[in-house]
Amino acid sequence: MADIDEQARQTLLDNDRGGYTIPTSGLYPFQWNWDSCFCALGWATFDEKRAWAEFESLYLHQWLDGMVPHIIFHEHVPTYFPGPEIWQVPLNIPTSGITQPPVAASKVRELYETVKDKEYAEKKIRQLLPKLYSFNHWFHLQRDPNNEGLVSIYHPWESGRDNSADWDAALNRVPVEDLVPYQRRDTNHVDADQRPTTLEYDRYMAIVQFLRGNLYDHHTLHERVPFRIADVGINAILLRANLDLLWLMEKFDYEDDQAVRETRGWISLQEEAFDKLWDEEDQAYYSYDYITGEPIRAIGSATFLPLYAGVVAPKRAEILVRRIEEWTDEVNYLMPSLNPVDSRFEAKRYWRGPVWAVVNSLIFKGLEETGHGHLADRVALDTASLIKKSGFWEYFDPVTGDGLGGDCFSWTASMWLAWARHYLPDLKKKQA
C-alpha cells in the first residue's frame, strides 16, 4: 500500500508542469479541464496549496464569456493533434474552443471538506466563487438559450466520454464531404484498437472545422451545429455542480444575491427537466438528440449519473441499482462504460466498455447518497483492485482488469489517493 501511495504521489509530481498537471506525458501533454479538477483532490492528500493552485491555473484561462475550455495549450508540443493551429483560438496561451463536464464547483466543495487548512481554503474559494458561477452561467445561457433546463453539447469531446456508443447515430449524420485532410497522432502513443476509429475521428474533425469556421459564435452554433445533444452525463454533472455551488455560496455568504437567486432557479428548472430524460418503456435515462428530436437508446455508465445529481426518485433508483447488479454477472469489475450485453460493447476500446476511475468515483457518490452503500463499496473496491493489480492506467478492461490507454495517468493516481485506496479490505479493517 505504502508503495502504491508513493507511486501515486510520484505520478502527480512527474506530471506537474508548475501549477497545472498534465493527464500523462506523450498522449496528453497539456492541461485538461475536468482532469485538473480530479487531480486537485489527489494533490490535496499531500500538498493542499498545490491542490488549490490547480483550480487557479485552470480558471486563469476561462474565456471572457465564462466558458472553461477543455484543453489549455500551455506549451508548444508539435507531436499533439489537434493542437492550437487546428482550433485557431486567438489567445496568448491558446485553448481549444469547446468545454468539458463542469465538475469544478463540486470538486471545490469536496476539497474544502477534506483539507485541513480551512482558512487558506476559504481565501481561495472566495476568489474562485465568481468564476465558478460564471462557468455554470455560461452553460445555461449559451447551451440552453431557450431556458428548458437541459444544456447541450456540440462535440462528443465535451461529454468527456469521447467515443461512447451514445454518439454513434448522431455522429454518422455529421457531414464529412468538406473535411480538410488531417493526420491524427493519438495512435502513435496507444494501440489503435484501444482508441476511436478513423470514421469517428473524421466526424470529430468535421465538427471542429465547423465550430472554427463559425468563429465559435454561440448564436450561430446553436442554430446550425451538426451535433447537438442533451447528454445525460453532463446534465447530471451540471445539476450537481449547481447544488454544490449554492452550498459554497451559502457557506461563504456570497454577496451577489442575483447570482444566488439565479443558481437556485437553474436547480429547480433542471430538476424538473430531468424527468424528460427518463424513458418509461426502457426504464432508463437517455441522452436526447435535439437534431432528430429522439432519445438516444444506449445504456452506459452515464445512465447512472442522475443518482449523483440527486434527482432520482427511490423507485427509479432501485431500477438503476438492479441494472448495475445484473452487470456484475457479465464483467468482473464495475463500471463498464457500456452495457456489457450491448452488441457494440468492446472491453478494450476507450469509452465503449472499459472502466474509468473518475466516472466510478461519481457513481460511487450517487449510490452512497441514495442509500445503496453496499453497491457503492463494490464500485470503490473494484476501482482500488484494478489500480492495485495493474497500475495508474487511463482506463481498464472490465473483464480481465488489464490497464489500457495511457500509463502513469494523473486522474487515476488521484482517485487512488483521494478515494479508492480507502476501500481495500485491509485498510477498512484498520479504520474500523
**Interface contacts to ligand GLC, rule CB under 6 A:** 23, 28, 32, 34-35, 160, 162
Choice between 155 and 365, CB closer to ligand GLC:
155
CB of 247 to ligand GLC, least distance (A): 25
The nearer residue to ligand GLC, 32 or 393, going by C-beta atoms, is 32
Catalytic residue among 162, 168, 202, 279: 162
Concerning whether 271 is annotated as a catalytic residue, the answer is: no
The grid coordinates listed for 320 are 438503476
Nearest C-alpha neighbor of 347 from the set 408, 307, 400, 286: 400
Q: How far is the CB of 10 from ligand GLC (least distance, A)?
A: 19
Question: Phi and psi (nearest 5°) for 16?
Answer: -75, 130
Closest CA to 44 of 128, 125, 112: 112
Closest CB to ligand GLC among residues 32, 423: 32
Least CB distance to ligand GLC at residue 35 (A): 5
Quote the CA–CA distance of 161 and 35 in Å, as a whole number. Answer: 12
204 contacts 168 by C-beta, under 8 angstroms: no
- The secondary structure element, H or E, covering residue 122 is helix 118-143
The CA distance from 33 to 43, in Å, is 16
Q: Which of 186, 394, 397, 407 is catalytic?
A: 394
Question: For this structure, is 407 an active site residue?
Answer: no
Minimum Å distance from CB 296 to ligand GLC?
18
Nearest CB to ligand GLC, comparing residues 23 and 398: 23
Nearer to ligand GLC, 35 or 166 (CB): 35
- Report yes or no: 140 and 270 within 8 Å, Cβ to Cβ: no
Alpha-carbon distance 47 to 210, whole Å?
Answer: 42
C-alpha–C-alpha distance, residues 267 and 242, integer Å: 6
CB of 2 to ligand GLC, least distance (A): 27
The number of CA neighbours under 13 Å toward the Cβ of 211 is: 22
Active site residues: 162, 394
